[in-house]
Structure 1
Amino acid sequence: MMHLPEDPETPLQINIVPMIDVVFAVLAFFILSSLFLTRNEGLPVTLPGAETAETQAQRQVVVTINAAGEAFVGDRAVTDEQLIEAIQSLGTLTDGGLVVVRADQSVSYGRVVAVMDQLRSLPGVQLAIATEGRQP
Protein backbone atom coordinates (compact mmCIF):
# COMPACT_ATOMS: atom_id res chain seq x y z
CA MET A 1 0.00 0.00 0.00
CA MET A 2 1.33 3.36 -1.01
CA HIS A 3 1.28 6.13 1.50
CA LEU A 4 0.62 9.61 0.08
CA PRO A 5 1.80 12.58 2.08
CA GLU A 6 -1.04 14.62 3.46
CA ASP A 7 -1.42 18.17 2.24
CA PRO A 8 -1.24 20.52 5.14
CA GLU A 9 -4.62 22.20 5.43
CA THR A 10 -4.31 25.90 4.79
CA PRO A 11 -7.12 27.98 6.22
CA LEU A 12 -9.42 29.47 3.59
CA GLN A 13 -9.07 33.21 3.11
CA ILE A 14 -11.32 35.69 1.37
CA ASN A 15 -9.40 38.35 -0.48
CA ILE A 16 -11.42 41.58 -0.27
CA VAL A 17 -9.02 43.86 -2.16
CA PRO A 18 -10.78 43.37 -5.54
CA MET A 19 -14.14 44.04 -3.88
CA ILE A 20 -12.83 47.30 -2.43
CA ASP A 21 -11.59 48.32 -5.88
CA VAL A 22 -15.03 47.69 -7.37
CA VAL A 23 -16.79 49.60 -4.58
CA PHE A 24 -14.54 52.63 -5.07
CA ALA A 25 -15.05 52.53 -8.86
CA VAL A 26 -18.84 52.50 -8.41
CA LEU A 27 -18.63 55.28 -5.82
CA ALA A 28 -16.51 57.42 -8.16
CA PHE A 29 -19.03 56.85 -10.98
CA PHE A 30 -21.97 58.04 -8.87
CA ILE A 31 -20.10 61.07 -7.56
CA LEU A 32 -19.07 62.19 -11.04
CA SER A 33 -22.49 61.56 -12.57
CA SER A 34 -24.22 63.52 -9.81
CA LEU A 35 -21.93 66.50 -10.45
CA PHE A 36 -23.07 66.66 -14.07
CA LEU A 37 -26.76 66.37 -13.15
CA THR A 38 -26.75 69.50 -11.00
CA ARG A 39 -25.41 71.85 -13.68
CA ASN A 40 -28.45 71.93 -15.93
CA GLU A 41 -29.26 75.59 -15.40
CA GLY A 42 -28.68 77.01 -18.85
CA LEU A 43 -26.40 79.69 -20.16
CA PRO A 44 -23.99 81.58 -17.92
CA VAL A 45 -25.44 84.91 -16.79
CA THR A 46 -24.78 87.02 -13.71
CA LEU A 47 -27.95 86.75 -11.65
CA PRO A 48 -28.95 89.50 -9.25
CA GLY A 49 -28.90 88.66 -5.56
CA ALA A 50 -31.99 88.43 -3.33
CA GLU A 51 -32.27 87.61 0.35
CA THR A 52 -35.70 85.98 -0.11
CA ALA A 53 -34.56 83.59 -2.85
CA GLU A 54 -36.27 80.17 -2.81
CA THR A 55 -35.62 76.93 -4.64
CA GLN A 56 -38.39 75.89 -7.07
CA ALA A 57 -39.06 72.18 -7.52
CA GLN A 58 -41.70 71.50 -10.18
CA ARG A 59 -41.98 71.17 -13.94
CA GLN A 60 -40.27 74.20 -15.36
CA VAL A 61 -38.89 75.82 -18.48
CA VAL A 62 -35.92 78.15 -18.24
CA VAL A 63 -35.87 81.33 -20.35
CA THR A 64 -32.48 83.08 -20.26
CA ILE A 65 -31.83 86.70 -21.21
CA ASN A 66 -28.11 87.37 -21.57
CA ALA A 67 -26.31 90.69 -21.08
CA ALA A 68 -26.90 91.62 -24.74
CA GLY A 69 -30.68 91.20 -24.28
CA GLU A 70 -30.91 88.03 -26.41
CA ALA A 71 -33.50 85.46 -25.30
CA PHE A 72 -32.85 81.72 -25.07
CA VAL A 73 -35.20 78.83 -24.32
CA GLY A 74 -32.95 76.25 -22.70
CA ASP A 75 -29.79 76.77 -24.74
CA ARG A 76 -31.54 77.64 -28.03
CA ALA A 77 -31.56 81.28 -29.15
CA VAL A 78 -35.02 82.59 -30.06
CA THR A 79 -36.43 85.86 -31.29
CA ASP A 80 -39.36 87.52 -29.52
CA GLU A 81 -41.72 86.12 -32.15
CA GLN A 82 -40.42 82.56 -31.65
CA LEU A 83 -40.45 82.63 -27.83
CA ILE A 84 -43.95 81.24 -27.15
CA GLU A 85 -43.72 78.71 -29.97
CA ALA A 86 -40.36 77.44 -28.68
CA ILE A 87 -41.77 76.91 -25.18
CA GLN A 88 -44.89 75.16 -26.49
CA SER A 89 -42.76 72.87 -28.68
CA LEU A 90 -41.06 71.52 -25.53
CA GLY A 91 -44.41 70.13 -24.33
CA THR A 92 -43.46 70.64 -20.67
CA LEU A 93 -46.17 73.19 -19.89
CA THR A 94 -49.28 71.57 -21.36
CA ASP A 95 -51.48 72.23 -18.32
CA GLY A 96 -49.59 75.05 -16.66
CA GLY A 97 -46.22 75.07 -15.03
CA LEU A 98 -43.36 77.30 -14.08
CA VAL A 99 -41.32 79.47 -16.43
CA VAL A 100 -38.12 80.69 -14.79
CA VAL A 101 -36.69 83.88 -16.27
CA ARG A 102 -32.90 83.99 -15.82
CA ALA A 103 -31.96 87.54 -16.76
CA ASP A 104 -28.46 88.97 -16.45
CA GLN A 105 -28.41 91.77 -13.89
CA SER A 106 -27.21 94.23 -16.54
CA VAL A 107 -30.31 93.69 -18.74
CA SER A 108 -32.74 96.60 -18.67
CA TYR A 109 -35.91 96.25 -16.65
CA GLY A 110 -38.00 96.98 -19.74
CA ARG A 111 -36.51 94.04 -21.64
CA VAL A 112 -37.30 91.62 -18.80
CA VAL A 113 -40.87 92.95 -18.52
CA ALA A 114 -41.37 92.60 -22.29
CA VAL A 115 -40.33 88.92 -22.17
CA MET A 116 -42.47 88.24 -19.09
CA ASP A 117 -45.45 89.94 -20.76
CA GLN A 118 -45.15 87.52 -23.68
CA LEU A 119 -44.86 84.54 -21.31
CA ARG A 120 -48.07 85.48 -19.51
CA SER A 121 -50.01 84.56 -22.66
CA LEU A 122 -49.32 80.87 -21.95
CA PRO A 123 -52.36 79.24 -20.26
CA GLY A 124 -51.91 78.50 -16.55
CA VAL A 125 -48.31 79.64 -16.50
CA GLN A 126 -46.51 80.74 -13.35
CA LEU A 127 -43.55 83.06 -13.71
CA ALA A 128 -40.45 83.23 -11.52
CA ILE A 129 -37.31 85.32 -11.72
CA ALA A 130 -34.05 83.51 -11.00
CA THR A 131 -31.77 85.12 -8.43
CA GLU A 132 -28.80 84.05 -6.38
CA GLY A 133 -29.14 83.86 -2.61
CA ARG A 134 -27.05 86.45 -0.80
CA GLN A 135 -24.27 85.16 1.41
CA PRO A 136 -24.63 86.28 5.03
Structure 2
Amino acid sequence: MRLPDDPETPISINIVPMIDVVFAVLAFFIISSLFLTRHEGLPVALPGAQTAEGQPQQRLVVTLDSSGQVFIGDRPYEDNQLLAAVQTLITATEGNLVVIRADASVPHGRVVAVMDQLRTLEGVQLAIATQPHDALAPAP
Protein backbone atom coordinates (compact mmCIF):
# COMPACT_ATOMS: atom_id res chain seq x y z
CA MET A 1 0.00 0.00 0.00
CA ARG A 2 1.30 3.33 -0.99
CA LEU A 3 0.89 6.33 1.30
CA PRO A 4 0.30 9.73 -0.23
CA ASP A 5 3.33 11.98 -0.28
CA ASP A 6 3.15 14.96 2.01
CA PRO A 7 4.15 18.11 0.27
CA GLU A 8 7.42 19.23 1.80
CA THR A 9 7.15 22.69 3.22
CA PRO A 10 10.39 24.55 3.58
CA ILE A 11 11.60 24.85 7.12
CA SER A 12 11.69 28.47 8.26
CA ILE A 13 12.15 30.39 11.46
CA ASN A 14 9.70 33.18 12.10
CA ILE A 15 11.82 36.09 13.35
CA VAL A 16 9.02 38.63 13.79
CA PRO A 17 8.50 37.79 17.50
CA MET A 18 12.25 37.99 18.06
CA ILE A 19 12.37 41.45 16.46
CA ASP A 20 9.50 42.55 18.71
CA VAL A 21 11.44 41.41 21.78
CA VAL A 22 14.61 43.18 20.60
CA PHE A 23 12.71 46.44 20.10
CA ALA A 24 11.07 46.13 23.52
CA VAL A 25 14.46 45.58 25.19
CA LEU A 26 15.96 48.48 23.22
CA ALA A 27 13.12 50.79 24.27
CA PHE A 28 13.59 49.72 27.89
CA PHE A 29 17.30 50.58 27.87
CA ILE A 30 16.76 53.91 26.12
CA ILE A 31 14.08 54.98 28.59
CA SER A 32 16.02 53.73 31.62
CA SER A 33 19.17 55.55 30.50
CA LEU A 34 17.23 58.81 30.57
CA PHE A 35 16.68 58.32 34.29
CA LEU A 36 20.36 57.54 34.94
CA THR A 37 21.50 61.03 34.07
CA ARG A 38 21.61 63.17 37.15
CA HIS A 39 19.84 66.49 36.78
CA GLU A 40 19.67 68.60 39.87
CA GLY A 41 17.98 71.92 40.23
CA LEU A 42 17.96 74.60 37.60
CA PRO A 43 19.66 74.47 34.22
CA VAL A 44 22.92 76.44 34.28
CA ALA A 45 25.85 76.56 31.88
CA LEU A 46 28.67 75.14 33.98
CA PRO A 47 32.24 76.23 33.26
CA GLY A 48 34.62 73.59 31.97
CA ALA A 49 37.69 72.15 33.68
CA GLN A 50 40.39 69.70 32.62
CA THR A 51 40.36 68.04 36.06
CA ALA A 52 36.59 67.71 36.53
CA GLU A 53 35.65 64.64 38.56
CA GLY A 54 32.54 63.20 40.17
CA GLN A 55 31.53 63.78 43.78
CA PRO A 56 29.88 61.41 46.26
CA GLN A 57 26.11 61.33 46.61
CA GLN A 58 25.86 62.82 50.14
CA ARG A 59 25.97 66.50 49.28
CA LEU A 60 23.98 69.68 49.15
CA VAL A 61 23.83 71.63 45.88
CA VAL A 62 23.63 75.43 45.91
CA THR A 63 22.88 76.84 42.45
CA LEU A 64 23.56 80.36 41.19
CA ASP A 65 21.63 81.05 37.99
CA SER A 66 22.70 83.50 35.28
CA SER A 67 21.13 86.43 37.17
CA GLY A 68 23.04 85.60 40.39
CA GLN A 69 19.97 84.34 42.29
CA VAL A 70 20.76 81.59 44.84
CA PHE A 71 18.75 78.34 44.78
CA ILE A 72 18.85 75.16 46.81
CA GLY A 73 17.10 72.57 44.69
CA ASP A 74 14.50 74.64 42.85
CA ARG A 75 13.69 76.96 45.76
CA PRO A 76 15.15 80.50 45.68
CA TYR A 77 16.82 81.96 48.78
CA GLU A 78 17.91 85.46 49.71
CA ASP A 79 21.48 85.96 50.90
CA ASN A 80 20.39 86.45 54.51
CA GLN A 81 18.43 83.14 54.45
CA LEU A 82 21.17 81.04 52.85
CA LEU A 83 23.19 80.14 55.94
CA ALA A 84 20.21 78.99 57.99
CA ALA A 85 18.86 76.90 55.10
CA VAL A 86 22.22 75.26 54.40
CA GLN A 87 22.82 74.54 58.08
CA THR A 88 19.41 72.89 58.38
CA LEU A 89 19.80 70.83 55.20
CA ILE A 90 23.33 69.70 55.99
CA THR A 91 22.30 68.27 59.34
CA ALA A 92 19.34 66.56 57.65
CA THR A 93 21.50 64.88 54.96
CA GLU A 94 24.32 63.83 57.31
CA GLY A 95 26.90 65.23 54.94
CA ASN A 96 29.06 68.30 55.00
CA LEU A 97 29.83 68.75 51.30
CA VAL A 98 28.23 71.76 49.63
CA VAL A 99 28.56 71.91 45.84
CA ILE A 100 28.21 75.32 44.22
CA ARG A 101 26.72 75.14 40.70
CA ALA A 102 27.31 78.60 39.30
CA ASP A 103 26.37 79.57 35.76
CA ALA A 104 29.42 80.54 33.69
CA SER A 105 27.97 84.02 33.17
CA VAL A 106 27.71 84.78 36.92
CA PRO A 107 30.33 87.35 37.97
CA HIS A 108 33.24 85.85 39.89
CA GLY A 109 32.65 88.23 42.79
CA ARG A 110 29.13 86.90 43.29
CA VAL A 111 30.37 83.30 43.49
CA VAL A 112 33.09 84.32 45.97
CA ALA A 113 30.51 86.15 48.10
CA VAL A 114 28.36 83.01 48.34
CA MET A 115 31.44 80.90 49.11
CA ASP A 116 32.46 83.32 51.88
CA GLN A 117 29.03 83.00 53.45
CA LEU A 118 29.17 79.22 53.33
CA ARG A 119 32.70 79.09 54.79
CA THR A 120 31.40 80.62 58.00
CA LEU A 121 29.56 77.34 58.71
CA GLU A 122 31.71 75.01 60.78
CA GLY A 123 32.77 71.76 59.13
CA VAL A 124 31.43 72.59 55.66
CA GLN A 125 33.48 71.48 52.68
CA LEU A 126 32.95 73.44 49.48
CA ALA A 127 33.22 72.22 45.90
CA ILE A 128 32.53 73.99 42.62
CA ALA A 129 30.64 72.06 39.93
CA THR A 130 32.23 72.00 36.49
CA GLN A 131 31.89 69.84 33.44
CA PRO A 132 34.64 68.30 31.30
CA HIS A 133 35.78 70.34 28.29
CA ASP A 134 34.59 67.49 26.05
CA ALA A 135 31.00 68.21 27.12
CA LEU A 136 31.40 71.85 26.05
CA ALA A 137 32.31 71.06 22.44
CA PRO A 138 29.41 71.63 20.03
CA ALA A 139 28.19 68.61 18.11
CA PRO A 140 29.18 68.61 14.40
Structure 2 unmatched ranges of 5 or more? 1-15
* In 2, Cα distance between equivalents of 1:26 and 1:84: 47
User: Corresponding residue for 2:113?
Assistant: 114
In percent, how many aligned pairs have the same letter?
66
Residue 83 of structure 2 contacts residue 121 of structure 2 at CA under 8 Å; is this kept in 1? yes
What are the superposed Cα offsets for residues 30-54 of structure 1, whole Å, 9 maximum, x if unpaired? Answer: 6424412423222111111111111
User: Aligned AA for 2:55?
Assistant: Q
Q: Are the counterparts in 2 of residues 69 and 111 from structure 1 also a CA contact under 8 Å?
A: yes
Aligned residues of 1:65 and 1:103 also touching (Cα < 8 A): yes
Change beyond 3 A, Cα 1:115–1:130: same
Give me the whole-angstrom Cα distance separating, in 1, the residues matched to 2:27 and 2:49: 35
Gaps of 5+ in 1: 1-16
| TM-align CA RMSD | 3.2
**What TM-score do you get using the length of structure 1 for normalisation?**
0.72
Deviations along 1:86-125, one digit per CA (max 9) or x if unpaired, are: 2224611x4x421110111111111101111111123321
Q: What do the CA deviations read for 1:4-62 (whole angstroms, capped 9, x no partner)? A: xxxxxxxxxxxxx9899689657744642441242322211111111111111241111
Change (3 A) 1:37 1:78: farther
Counterpart secondary structure, 1:82? helix
1:43-62 matches, cutoff 5 A:
43-62=42-61
1:58–1:98 contact (8 Å) kept in structure 2:
no
Matched residue pairs, number?
129
The amino acid that maps onto 2:49 is A
What letter is aligned with 2:128? I
User: Does the 8 A contact of 2:60 with 2:89 survive in 1?
Assistant: no
Amino acid at match of 1:86: A
One-letter amino acid of the counterpart of residue 80, structure 1 = D
